[in-house]
Structure 1
Amino acid sequence: MTVTDTATTRDERFAHGLEVLKRVDGEAGERVVGALGDINPELGHQIVAWAFGDIYDRPGLAPRDRQLVTLGMLTALGGCETQLEVHVNAALNVGLSPDEIVESLLHSAVYCGIP
């Protein structure tokens, strides 16, 4: 499914987002969403349907480029160690090498400040 072939119902958007989530994050992403089930299931739904189904699947950036952006943002935010761990694994899933991930974090540190 592409941006031009957008799912329209709530269930379709969730199912599509779940497919994208599995491609990008594998089991780690599903665990994050599952952990929200007792706390805030609607947030879990929106992460899957909107963040992955609508945003991650847009054609403007390749999945590896999206992960580079995500790694940079999580580094800039700070305090996102759990999410950073998930997205380092996602970066590996979508084709980034360990050396590229290390280099992206080093590059981010220049702009985010070195602790």
Structure 2
Amino acid sequence: MNDRYQRGYNKLNELEPNGAEGLMEAFADVCPDLAKYTIEYPFGDVLQRDGLDFKTRELVTIGALTAMGNCQPQLHGHIVGALNLGCSEKEISEVILQMSVYAGFPAAINGMTVAKAAFAEFRNKQEAQ
């Protein structure tokens, strides 16, 4: 493991416990390099930069994924990750609502639908603990 990978591995697991392991397992049989590059670049390089804290970066990511409109699995994961980092449901909902202005109502409606499911999943996990 190089330093970038180790930093990224730790950062991804901060967002989602065992997230790095899950990512590696998901692509082990088809393209393990995709998981490696994802761990190294966004999590090992970009998320390590000064200027924005991790919670803010996750809120920005939620906005971008909502605006893209075709990334529901990734949006779901980042919403749960933001909740794991201490973002509130209200903060996340406001970011998604904001996207109705810039990305349109369909993108915001789809994003809010993903958020509703992610919030329920997160609450169920919290109650089970």
Quickly name the TM-score band, shorter chain normalised. 0.7 to 0.9
Separation in 2 of the partners of 1:113 and 1:29?
33
| Structure with the larger helix share | 2
Separation in 2 of the partners of 1:78 and 1:32?
22
Deviations 1:36-65 (A, max 9, x none): 221211111011011101111111100111
The answer on 1:59 being equivalent to 2:45 is no
> Is the 8 Å Cα contact of residues 75 and 109 (structure 1) preserved in structure 2?
no
Q: For the structure 1 residues 59 and 18, does the alpha-carbon distance in structure 2 shift closer, same or farther, using more than 3 Å as the test?
A: same
> Is the 8 Å Cα contact of residues 9 and 20 (structure 2) preserved in structure 1?
no
Ranges in structure 1 where 5+ consecutive residues have no aligned partner: 1-9
Task: Return structure 1 stretches of 4+ with deviation > 6 angstroms.
Answer: none
The answer on 1:11 being equivalent to 2:2 is yes
Deviations 1:66-85 (A, max 9, x none): 01110011011111110011
Which residue matches 1:3? Answer: none
> Is the 8 Å Cα contact of residues 72 and 104 (structure 1) preserved in structure 2?
yes
* Cα distance, 1:28 vs structure 2: 4.3
Q: TM-score, normalization: structure 1?
A: 0.84
Which residue matches 1:26? Answer: 17
Separation in 2 of the partners of 1:33 and 1:108?
31
Separation in 1 of the partners of 2:20 and 2:68?
20
Q: Report the identity percentage.
A: 38
Count of residue pairs brought into register by the alignment: 106
3-state SS in 2 of match to 1:50: helix
> Is the 8 Å Cα contact of residues 59 and 95 (structure 2) preserved in structure 1?
yes
> Is the 8 Å Cα contact of residues 58 and 78 (structure 2) preserved in structure 1?
yes
2:90 corresponds, among 94, 99, 105, to 99
Ranges in structure 2 where 5+ consecutive residues have no aligned partner: 107-129
TM-align CA RMSD: 1.5
Q: TM-score, normalization: structure 2?
A: 0.75
